[in-house]
């Protein structure tokens, strides 16, 4: 009797591989809700000329500029909506996407993302420290590109490693404008003739920040316009899995060779600044149960007001009782209050925040 694969079992994902073919068709072969993050660097409008069709698929004759322009935008929109729809299907419910572009295409892409149900989280500006100048002096130096970061839906609980990004930015929260140099020098891949292997190779520093900020080690990152594989290279370095899709064989070859040379950083180097939200929750009552605070003991607020600890871990204050947070909020007439930092106890003449007891309990739990 043959072993039967359960119908509910998802097909295996081709992890850490570069898939060959048109990105929309290849995406169709991948299972629903299997991807944690998508990074997409789609082609610009310019390359689609010559395939102009009206929405009803009739071919457009040579026409005046205005109609031609509109048709070209329509064709680009059709393409954009198609790959975005597949991308969204592939994302896990809490998945997210980054798309990078310039003013030629990013507005159309962003509007299509909103229409497709993606929920925009930020637009992030990549400021180039070494952009190409505008040689003719007719416009501003085009010194940035725009990235859109969006979750699969409005109520996705997307990944955002706030503390790691804050650490990367020397202690202040990361802003929506990132100053990074273009990909040049030894990082820029060359082909056999010594020419650049790809016209728009993205710098690894850009992907580093994207992946540190919006994925965790072991996550699956899909890049449907893989090119020379910057996404894959950085994903591998950082201990993330990748799936690349690329239809040009020359790019696939360069990317595969590049990624083969990459080594994953040690697990210890991949640990990032931890967030308090990830710490185990300690109910205040545990401090009472464990005798670190006694029922009947009095806690003091920064204002000097007091409340008495009850045996069940609630506080009794002036005309109000409840959790440490509720009584603190009532005293401050505030919508909320973090009781752990608000309340203090006294020992040996010193006034100590109760949060220090929570830290002590957490440390013991880690032993």
Partner DNA sequence: CTCCGGCGTGAATCCGGAG
Partner DNA sequence: TCTCCGGATTCACGCCGGA
Chain positions 298 to 327 lying near a second copy, rule: CB under 8 A, are 308-314, 316, 321-323
Following CA atoms 228, 230, 232, 234 in sequence, which dihedral angle do they give, to the nearest 10 degrees?
160
- Tell whether residue 339 is a contact of DNA (CB under 7 A): yes
Taking CB within 5 to 8 Å according to partner kind, which of DNA, a second copy, none is near residue 184? DNA
270 binds, among a second copy, DNA, none (CB under 5 to 8 A by kind): a second copy
- Give the separation between CA 293 and CA 282, rounded to whole angstroms: 14
Decide whether 195 or 249 has the Cβ nearer to DNA.
195
Which of DNA, a second copy, none is residue 66 near (CB under 5 to 8 Å by kind)? a second copy
Q: What single string gives the DSSP state of each residue in 45-92?
A: GGGGTT--B-TTSPBP-S--HHHHHHHHHHHHHHHHHHHHHHHHHHEE
List Cβ neighbours of 193 (8 Å cut-off, separation of 6 or more): none
Exposed/middle/buried for 9, CB within 10 Å: 0-12, 13-18, 19+?
exposed
Instruction: Kindly tell me which residue out of 129, 218, 261, 349 binds a second copy, with binding defined by CB under 8 A.
Output: 129
Q: Does 52 bind DNA (CB under 7 A)?
A: yes
Please identify, using beta-carbon distances, which residue of 13 and 262 lies nearer to a second copy.
Answer: 262
Interface with a second copy (CB under 8 A), residue from 87, 96, 106, 235? 106
**Residues 158/216, Cβ–Cβ less than 8 Å:** no
Check if the beta carbon of residue 186 is closer than 8 Å to that of residue 135: no
Interface with DNA, residue 117, by CB under 7 A: no
Name which position in 3, 15, 193, 199 contacts DNA (CB under 7 A): 199
Q: Which residue, chain included where needed, has tokens 């929506």?
A: 176
Distances (CA, A) of 294 to 232, 283, 298, 309, 360: 56, 15, 9, 7, 16
Binding residue (CB under 8 A) for a second copy from 17, 123, 248, 355: 123
Task: Assess 8 for contact with DNA (CB under 7 A).
Answer: no
Subset of residues 196 to 255 that bind a second copy, contact rule: CB under 8 A: 203-205, 208-209, 212, 237-238
Out of DNA, a second copy, none, what residue 33 binds, judged by CB under 5 to 8 A for its kind, is none
Query: Using the rule CB under 8 A, is 179 a contact of a second copy?
Result: yes
Contact, 149 vs 98, CB < 8 A?
Answer: yes
Least distance CB 196 / DNA (angstroms): 5
> Between residue 346 and residue 365, which ones bind a second copy under the rule CB under 8 A?
364-365
């Amino acid at each position: 009797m043959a072993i039967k694969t359960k119908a509910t079992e998802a097909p295996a994902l081709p992890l850490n591989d570069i898939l060959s073919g048109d990105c929309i068709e290849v995406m169709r072969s991948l299972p629903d809700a299997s991807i944690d993050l998508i990074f997409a660097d789609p082609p610009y409008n310019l390359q689609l000329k010559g395939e102009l069709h009206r929405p009803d698929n009739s071919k457009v004759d040579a026409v005046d500029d205005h109609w031609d322009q509109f048709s070209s935008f329509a064709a680009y929109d059709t393409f954009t909506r198609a790959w975005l729809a597949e991308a969204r299907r592939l994302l896990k419910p809490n998945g997210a996407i980054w798309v990078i572009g310039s003013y030629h295409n990013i507005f159309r892409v962003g509007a299509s993302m909103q229409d497709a149900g993606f929920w925009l989280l930020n637009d992030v500006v990549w400021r180039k420290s070494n952009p190409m100048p505008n040689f003719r002096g007719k416009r501003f130096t085009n010194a940035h590109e725009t990235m859109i970061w969006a979750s699969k839906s409005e109520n996705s609980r997307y990944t955002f490693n706030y503390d790691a990004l804050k650490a990367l930015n020397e202690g202040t929260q990361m802003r929506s404008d990132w100053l990074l140099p273009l990909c040049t020098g030894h990082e820029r891949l060359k082909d056999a003739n010594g020419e650049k292997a790809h016209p728009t190779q993205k710098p690894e520093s850009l992907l580093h920040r994207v992946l540190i900020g919006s994925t965790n080690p072991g996550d699956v990152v899909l890049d449907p316009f893989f090119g020379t594989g910057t996404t894959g290279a950085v994903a591998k370095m950082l201990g993330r899995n990748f799936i690349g899709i690329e239809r040009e064989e020359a790019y696939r070859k360069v990317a595969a060779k590049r990624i083969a040379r990459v080594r994953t950083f040690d697990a210890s180097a991949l640990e990032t600044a931890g967030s308090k939200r990830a710490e185990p929750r300690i109910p205040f009552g545990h401090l009472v149960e464990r005798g670190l605070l006694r029922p009947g003991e009095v806690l003091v607020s920064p204002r000097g007001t007091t409340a008495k600890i009850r045996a069940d871990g609630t506080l009794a204050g002036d005309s109000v009782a409840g959790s440490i947070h509720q009584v603190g909020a009532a005293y401050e007439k505030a919508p909320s209050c973090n009781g752990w930092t608000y309340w203090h106890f006294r020992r040996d003449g010193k006034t100590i925040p109760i949060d220090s007891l929570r830290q002590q309990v957490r440390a013991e739990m880690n032993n």
